[in-house]
Amino acid sequence: MKKVVLSFLLLVITFYSHAQIRNEIKLNIFNTIALGSVEFGYEHFIDSTQSQSIGVEFLINDRFSYYPHGKDGKEFKTNSYLVSYNFYFIQDEDDPSSFYISPFFKYRAGDYLDLDENNNIRETDMNSAMIGIGAGYKWIYNGQLALGPFVNIARGFSKEVADKFSAVELNAGFSIGYRF
C-alpha cells in the first residue's frame, strides 16, 4: 500500500515540475459518502487544450457495483486499479467545462466473503480484469476546481465473479478535483 501511494505521489510531483502541463487530482465524493469506498485519481492532460488526458485511479474498499456490504455477513475485501484515456469535448478554450468519454481498463484484487445456507463462510476470489467505458460532465471553476457526475459500465472476465454477481458492472459517482 505504501509503495502504491509513494509511486502515485512521485508521478504527481514529476508532472507538477512542468509548469505548462495541466494535471488533475480528484476524489469520487459520492461513493465515499454512500459506500465507504475511497476512490481517488490523477489525470495528466497530454495536449495544451486539455481535450485529452491519461488517467489513473486507485479505489480502496472497492465493491462490485452497488451490491450490499455488511449485511448478513457479506464483506468486500477488495481494492482496484484503473487506467483510462479521456476525451473531452471542449467547445470554448476559455471555458474547459465539457462532456467527456473515457475508455478504461480496471483490475480488482481481493475477496468477497458471505455466508452459505449453513452459516459457513464462503469466499469468492474477486481478482479480475475489466474493460469498459465511462461518460460524464466536468464543470471547471477558475481554471482549477473540477466538479462533475459520471457513469461507467464495464465487462469483467472472471467466471467466478460473473457467477456470483454479473459479468457487467455499473458504477457512478460525483468527482471533486483540483487542476494544477
What phi, psi does 171 have (nearest 5°)?
A: -145, 145
Please tell me the distance from the alpha carbon of residue 86 to that of residue 104, in angstroms, as a whole number.
9
Please tell me the distance from the alpha carbon of residue 152 to that of residue 31, in angstroms, as a whole number.
13
CATH number for the domain harbouring residue 65: 2.40.160.20
Average pLDDT over all residues of the chain: 88
Domain count, the chain: 1
pLDDT in tens, 60-105: 988 887 776 666 768 889 999 999 999 999 998 888 899 999 999 9
What's the confidence (pLDDT) of residue 6?
Answer: 59
pLDDT in tens, 105-116: 999 999 999 888
DSSP three-state, residue 49: coil
Instruction: State the alpha helices, DSSP H only, in 17-167.
Output: 29-35, 159-164
Contact 125, 136 (CB under 8 A): no
Contact 172, 151 (CB under 8 A): yes
Domain extent, residue 164, equals: 2-179
Alpha carbon separation from 115 to 16, 63, 75, 122 (Å, rounded): 47, 17, 10, 6
pLDDT bracket for residue 35 (50, 70, 90): confident
Please tell me the distance from the alpha carbon of residue 103 to that of residue 9, in angstroms, as a whole number.
24
Please tell me the distance from the alpha carbon of residue 159 to that of residue 175, in angstroms, as a whole number.
31
